[in-house]
Amino acid sequence: MADLPVQWFESHDGTKLAYRELGHGRPVVLIHGYFSTATVNWIRYGHAAAIAARGHRVIMPDLRGHGDSGKPHGSSAYPPDVLADDGFALIDHLGLTDYDLGGYSLGARTTVRMLARGATPRRAILAGMGLEGIVDTGQRGDHFRRILTGLGTFERGTSEWMAEAFLKTVGGDPVALLHVLDTFVDTPREELGRIEVPTLVLAGDKDRDNGSADALTEALSNARHAVVPGDHMSAVTKPDLGTAIADFLDE
């Protein structure tokens, strides 16, 4: 599918942010992962189309510092939890009151932060995420900080080299992305237990990048775990991901 037209909204601090839409029906907001974009995560491999075909209005923002969204270089534009702030700003901009919410990797972490802060979607999807990536965000953040501060130094074929190669394909801004790491906020296990929204924890069968999806499922009060083929990078390229999300939303 060709890229969709970009639309715009302003977050609460005035930063101009991008989003795309596909389909009609019940709204579902889907947030992409770190280094990625809405187009790469949800559109390129057909997930948005598969979900839209089942009667959903798929709304896909580009996170601050990513894609077509604003990429300010000043640290003041990246306070803790600003990605969740941006998510609430999008919901306000669109006037959504009855919607679903989910994300992949950093998008899933952002979804958790929104849920912990009072977002009330009908259903939530946490894909490409495990418990450690929620309760201890610094570990994953340090991994990416090492990549962004060592660009051009990694041995070909290593996970760092592959992450850098992906960064180049999406035209990522290293300065903005480094600042994004400063926005990460841990969500304690006890807060997870208070989230009552029916939640799908969805992960590739070889994905351990953000810890245990089983443990995340157990920490939530109303969640179930589903598995799709692939590791953290490859699971998003397979149709199973979009199908699993659509099946969950249709229940």
pTM of this structure: 0.97
Nearest to residue 102, comparing CAs of 26, 194, 6?
26
Q: Is the pLDDT of residue 206 over 90?
A: yes
> What is the average pLDDT across 58-70?
98
At residue 240 the predicted structure's pLDDT band, cuts being 50, 70 and 90, is very high
> What is the average pLDDT across 80-104?
98
At residue 68 the predicted structure's pLDDT band, cuts being 50, 70 and 90, is very high
> What is the average pLDDT across 188-200?
97
Which pLDDT score is estimated for 160? 92
At residue 215 the predicted structure's pLDDT band, cuts being 50, 70 and 90, is very high
Which pLDDT score is estimated for 2? 61
> What is the average pLDDT across 74-101?
98
pLDDT tens for each residue of 152-167: 999 999 989 999 999 9
> What is the average pLDDT across 118-122?
97
Q: Is the pLDDT of residue 92 over 70?
A: yes
- Tokens encoding 127: 């894909």
> What is the average pLDDT across 229-235?
96
Q: Is the pLDDT of residue 1 over 90?
A: no
> What is the average pLDDT across 102-112?
98
Burial 65-89 (b: 16+ CB within 10 A, else e): bbbbbbbbeeeebbeebbbbbbbbb
In order, the DSSP letters of 79-129 are: -TTHHHHHHHHHHHHHT-SS-EEEEETHHHHHHHHHHHTT---S-EEEES-
> What is the average pLDDT across 10-37?
97
Mean pLDDT of the chain: 96
Which pLDDT score is estimated for 3? 78
